[in-house]
Amino acid sequence: MIEARRLHILRAVADHRTVTAAAAALYLTPSAVSQQLTALEQETGHRLVERGARGVRLTPAGEILLSHANAVLAQLERAEAELAAYGAGEAGTVTVAAFATGIAQVVAPAVARLSATAPGIRIRVQDAEGDASLPMVLDRQVDVAVAVEYRGAPPADDPRLTHVPLYAEPFDAVVPVSHRLADGPEVPLAELAKDSWIGPYPGNPCHDVVVLACENAGFQPRLEHLSDDFRAVVALASADVGVALVPRSALRGTDLTGVVVRPVDGVAPTRRVFAAVRRGAEGHPLIRPVLDALHAAAEDA
């Protein structure tokens, strides 16, 4: 009989690609993870992982078992949801990981909505960038992620996750008031090819949006200044050290003294925001109201 706990460990190793990283995510020791993998191999009668200089990878047998593990773990999430519904679970804590502007845009309004519609649900919020929050859901560190589509992100049909689209928003160009394009109604991105740029660090989903937009305009942005805080990005633009693309919601409440904000000429770069939970958990009586409240807050934004 294969233990579900060991399937979860196998998936964590496949996600993190090293025993050490998987152990850290699962709050286990590396030796405990290795022991569980060995036990799983004994249960199945197959070698499931191969260790190399660059980490761990699944064998073909491991890949077969992983596909079944995703289905089994999703079904267990559904079982927990149905049992919680049977027990009329109307009170409990749901942990939500979201990036800063997502917290302001939809999470905080959803929390306010839930305090009136589902007062028994307590929300704990953690600030996490979109590329960090999805692994946190898969590792069961949080229940819900509010994340951004980015290159390399799990796709919408990923068997481990259920996606709930929330909203899409354009990026606007932010240039110093003295910039040569500051007086125009729109900013053609191709005209910024020789400018210095200010933007998020690589790994931040917004970094991908900025770089891809510039690539589509025919150039690689020369990112000389890096910050994941868009208030800092705007402040640097106001100091006339470069130009930037900033999500529209991140500009709300930001001091825009010294800069001009203009829409991008043509098709604007866009970030698409969604909520994600472990597949099967979307029907949980504590999680379902949270997803509904996030969706309603996105529609009202």
Q: In the chain, what percentage of residues exceed pLDDT 90?
A: 69
Residue 20 has pLDDT above 80, yes or no: yes
- The whole-number pLDDT of residue 217 equals 93
Tokens 């850290």 appear where?
A: 24
pTM above 0.75, yes or no: no
Say which residue, 293 or 85, is predicted with more confidence.
Answer: 293
203: nearest Cα among 264, 139, 152: 152
Residue 90 has pLDDT above 70, yes or no: no
Tell me the residue type at 256.
L
Contact 149, 240 (CB under 8 A): no
- The whole-number pLDDT of residue 55 equals 83
Residue 147 has pLDDT above 60, yes or no: yes
CA distance linking residue 36 with residue 27, whole number of Å = 14
Residue 172: pLDDT band (50, 70, 90) is very high
Joined tokens for residue 202 = 């690589």
Residues 232-263: tens digit of each pLDDT: 999 999 999 999 999 998 998 899 999 999 99
Residue 8 has pLDDT above 80, yes or no: yes
Joined tokens for residue 175 = 């240039």
Q: In this structure, are strands 161-176 and 244-247 parallel, antiparallel, or unpaired?
A: antiparallel
Residues 34-73: tens digit of each pLDDT: 999 999 999 999 999 998 878 889 999 999 999 999 998 9
Residue 18: pLDDT band (50, 70, 90) is very high
290: nearest Cα among 127, 140, 110: 110
Residue 87: pLDDT band (50, 70, 90) is low
Joined tokens for residue 276 = 């994600």
What mean pLDDT is predicted for residues 75-94?
76
Residue 208: strand, helix, or coil: helix
What mean pLDDT is predicted for residues 220-242?
96
Q: What is the per-residue DSSP string for 32-91?
A: HHHHHHHHHHHHHTS--EEEETTEEEE-HHHHHHHHHHHHHHHHHHHHHHHHHHHTT---
Please report the beta strands in 130-182, taking only residues with DSSP state E, as ranges in sequence order: 144-148, 161-176
Q: In the chain, what percentage of residues exceed pLDDT 70?
A: 98
- The whole-number pLDDT of residue 85 equals 64
